[in-house]
Amino acid sequence: MSTPQHFLIAGATGRQGGAVVSALLTHSDFEIDPNRVWAITRDAAGASCQRLISKWPGINIVAGDLNTPHALFEQLGNHILSQTAVFLAQAHGPTELSDAKGFIDAAATHGAAYFVYSSVDRGGRKLSDADPSYCKTFSDKFYIEQHLKSVATQKGMGYTIIRPTWFADNAHWGFPGKLCMTGWKVWMKGKRMQVATTTDIGRWAVEGLVRPDKTGIRNEALSVASEELSFQEIDLIFKRKTGKGVPVTFEWFTILMIWLVKDLNTMFRFIDERPYGADLPWLKERLEPATVTQWVDTIQF
């Protein structure tokens, strides 16, 4: 099967999409020109988009929203779409499921060659394949996975589903990140968990976009993690590297929010009950992971 020549990245100014763009354009095994990358953004004039253009001169900007997916694909042109691999990652929200299904349908209708979807691990391969979970933050992604598999099979579009574990980047994500890290510390009592850096999420997404057969992930789903750490261990890494611990917020406020906000409550309860299930040795055999220590070295504080 031919290698895609163009790459359409949803959320290219966000954490995961930005990591995919960086991994595509800095890979040591192949060279991709920025003019072959198409970055979807809601605000082409915004500061985040301008930083992307400044960092990667020549990158193509696709302005629009996931809720009007056909308009996004039409900006590429029919002569490009059959050679295009697509990446999608989304934050949880009320339109996540409908937006993703519409975007997947549009990709297949317009003849995209390949689709990489970033979902979430729900306890390893077998459980993630079978159990949506009682947490809507996770179950929506399960139903998106199912839709992608069905559409891809019907339309002959290749796909890879990556399922990240807990984001290391929650430790550097403003107030939402502080809430997550404090929840790990107090609600889950700092338990050891598999942690994924966005660097590794980006690298595995690129394996799917560019060469899925090399690592055996064509038409497959895989859980992605970088290493396993406790809250105390990641806090120590931050102290050693930055002189300060992991950013957190008030413990009483975090507990209150987890009790009051249903999505937060079910998410933390589910993660606390069911361990993440990425196969760390399998992942390491194929891609040397970017550790949290290495990731902290890349942060601009």
Q: Dump pLDDT digits (tens) for 245-286.
A: 999 999 999 999 999 999 999 999 999 999 999 999 999 999
Give me 65's structure tokens.
């929203």
Contacts of residue 192, Cβ cutoff 8 Å, sequence gap at least 6: 228, 229, 230, 233
CA atoms within 13 A on the CB side of 8: 31
pLDDT in tens, 29-86: 999 999 999 999 999 999 999 999 999 999 999 999 999 999 999 999 888 999 999 9
Residue pair 234/171 in contact (Cβ under 8 Å)? The answer is yes
Nearest to 301 by CA among 115, 192, 171: 171
Distance CA 47, CA 37 (A): 19
pLDDT in tens, 198-224: 999 999 999 999 999 999 999 999 999
Q: What rounded mean pLDDT belongs to the chain? A: 96
DSSP secondary structure letter of residue 288: -
Distance CA 114, CA 167 (A): 25
Q: Residues of the chain with pLDDT > 90: what percent?
A: 97
Residue pair 3/114 in contact (Cβ under 8 Å)? The answer is no
Distance CA 137, CA 125 (A): 18
DSSP 179-225: HHHHIIIIISTT--EEEE-HHHHHHHHHHHHH-TTTTT-TTEEEEE-
301: helix, strand or coil: coil
Is the pLDDT at 3 greater than 70? The verdict is: yes
Confidence band, pLDDT 50/70/90 cuts, at residue 301 = low
* Per-residue pLDDT, 77: 86
pLDDT in tens, 157-174: 999 999 999 999 999 999
DSSP 72-95: HHHTT-HHHHTTEEEEE-----TT
**Separation in Å, CA 39 to CA 53, 58, 65, 127, 172:** 10, 11, 12, 33, 23
Residue 42 CB neighbour total at 10 angstroms: 13
Confidence band, pLDDT 50/70/90 cuts, at residue 299 = confident
Angle at 90 between CA 265 and CA 7, to 5 degrees: 160
pLDDT in tens, 117-137: 999 999 999 999 999 999 999
Domains of the chain are 6-168+196-225+276-288 (3.40.50.720)
Query: Residue 183 is which amino acid?
Result: G
